[in-house]
Amino acid sequence: MTADLHLGQLVLFDGNPFFEGESAAKHVSSGAILVENGTITAVGEAAALKAAHPNAAFHDHGNALLQPGFVDAHAHYPQTGIIASWGKRLIDWLNTYTFPEESRFHDPVYARAIADRYLDLLLAHGTTTVCSFCTIHPASVDALFDAASARNMRVFAGKTCMDRNAPDTLRDTAQSAYDDSKALLAKWHGQGRASYVITPRFSPTSTPAQLTALGQLWAEHPDCLMQTHLSEQTEEIAWVKSLYPQARDYLDTYETHGLLGQNGLYGHAIHLEARERDRLREHGAGLVHCPTSNTFIGSGLFDMEGLMAEGQTIGLATDTGGGSSFSMLRSMAAAYEIGQLRGRPLHPSELLWLATEGSANTLRDQTIGRLAPGSAADFIALDLASTPAIAQRSARADDIWEALFPTIMMGDDRVIRQTWVAGKPLKQ
């Protein structure tokens, strides 16, 4: 099979810019990515790679910035149809918008239609990997993994488990949550590019018995990820304390039931107590920052600076549909804005790293979120002058970060010239 050589600008990371600053990144103004059989086999200066691979098919993307596809570490694909719904905080949001919509996913035809729409929206916005909650219905899991398989996308997902504080149409039991999750895990985990994720929605919608059952399943399959929500809003934390009066804190409701570990993903993590921060760091658990959601439903301001300095593992996400955009660029912009409100604005290198390698690290996958030999050829071409407003600002740039920052702050799907998944162009 003929190799493909993609030419354009590159930004390559060899460290974490939160710790090493801009020196963690290298800008290659005339770079190239060599792709063979869906995998990146070489990255570097265009002249050297062209000389070394004269028989490759050349694809010249001009001054486009070639970057790893974005990695969205926390989302709810069933909420695609209710994104940007007005005026609610978390608990009202769930009852008013989320639960009625998720009840529709008992229908496999409806679930597949939304899964197809959702993944196409991700590809249009340059996202090539997502970690998503489904609904309690096994058909919702099958729909997303089937749709991802058709596109050869790297997708993490699981059946959302809830056995209380939800409508009858969305409640399972401790036993059925275990049984359904185990069967779906056996069916999908490791099939193609799919990874199953054990998924209790959050402590308020799971009894201790259900959390224990899912903790047991995780102990049986420790290579799987486990995803849930943690300390998103103050009312939610008070609710958890009323439901689990013996718990030391919110995290303890998971820890006591075997749901704290290195492969755990804890969405939001805004209002953490000192013990929770210590335990999350000790386990190397993944925290997922969902900035557009945190502002849209009024949750609070994530402590990126403090948590990163502690050595926490942190990724970035859209949290569709509590998050108000399918675009990781918008999540990057919102993370910058939250940083400003906390007195520590994030540098463009930090934002780009969070949306790619940082999120990949939380998902424990070294084959995504990177431009490196051996990585999957999931990458995008960014037009750094996609609109007149962006073009006039980037034209004044003195370096790649000044050129990229207007795209982060003002960009949308027009920024994405093309999205490649395993080396194949998929943006429609």
Are the CB atoms for 190 and 145 separated by under 8 Å? no
Describe the crossing of helices 108-124 and 138-151 by its angle, rounded to 10 degrees: 40
Cis amide prior to 321 (ω within 30 degrees): yes
Q: How many CB atoms lie within 10 A of CB 30?
A: 12
* Half-sphere exposure at residue 318, Cβ-oriented, CA atoms within 13 angstroms: 30
Distance between CA 125 and CA 416 in Å, rounded?
6
Describe the crossing of helices 174-188 and 208-220 by its angle, rounded to 10 degrees: 30
Q: Which two tokens stand for residue 106?
A: 């008992």
Three-class DSSP labels, 186-255: HHHCCCCCEEEEEEECCHHHCCHHHHHHHHHHHHHCCCCEEEEEECCCHHHHHHHHHHCCCCCCHHHHHH
Residue pLDDT tens, the chain, 428 long: 689 999 999 999 999 999 999 999 999 999 999 999 999 999 999 999 999 999 999 999 999 999 999 999 999 999 999 999 997 888 898 999 999 999 999 999 999 999 999 999 999 999 999 999 999 999 999 999 999 999 999 999 999 999 999 999 999 999 999 999 999 999 999 999 999 999 999 999 999 999 999 999 999 999 999 999 999 999 999 999 999 999 999 999 999 999 999 999 999 999 999 999 999 999 999 999 999 999 999 999 999 999 999 999 999 999 999 999 999 999 999 999 999 999 999 999 999 999 999 999 999 999 999 999 999 999 999 999 999 999 999 999 999 999 999 999 999 999 999 999 999 999 98
Residue with tokens 């997303």: 144
Enumerate the β-bridge partners of residue 286. Answer: 265, 313
What pLDDT score was predicted for residue 87?
Answer: 79
Distance between CA 339 and CA 333 in Å, rounded?
10
Q: Give CATH superfamily name and number for 70-362.
A: Metal-dependent hydrolases (3.20.20.140)
Q: Are strands 264-268 and 225-230 parallel, antiparallel or unpaired?
A: parallel
pTM as predicted: 0.98
- The answer as to CATH 2.30.40.10 being correct for domain 4-68+370-425 is yes
Distance between CA 336 and CA 359 in Å, rounded?
16
What is the domain partition of the chain in residue ranges? 4-68+370-425, 70-362
Residue with tokens 């990695």: 71
- Write the DSSP symbol of residue 178: H
Q: Which two tokens stand for residue 301?
A: 């301001």
Q: Are strands 25-36 and 39-45 parallel, antiparallel or unpaired?
A: antiparallel
Are the CB atoms for 300 and 64 separated by under 8 Å? no
What pLDDT score was predicted for residue 1?
Answer: 66
User: 3-state DSSP helix/strand/coil percent for the chain, to nearest 5?
Assistant: 45, 25, 30
> How many residues in total does the chain contain?
428
For the chain, the first-to-last Cα distance in angstroms comes to 24
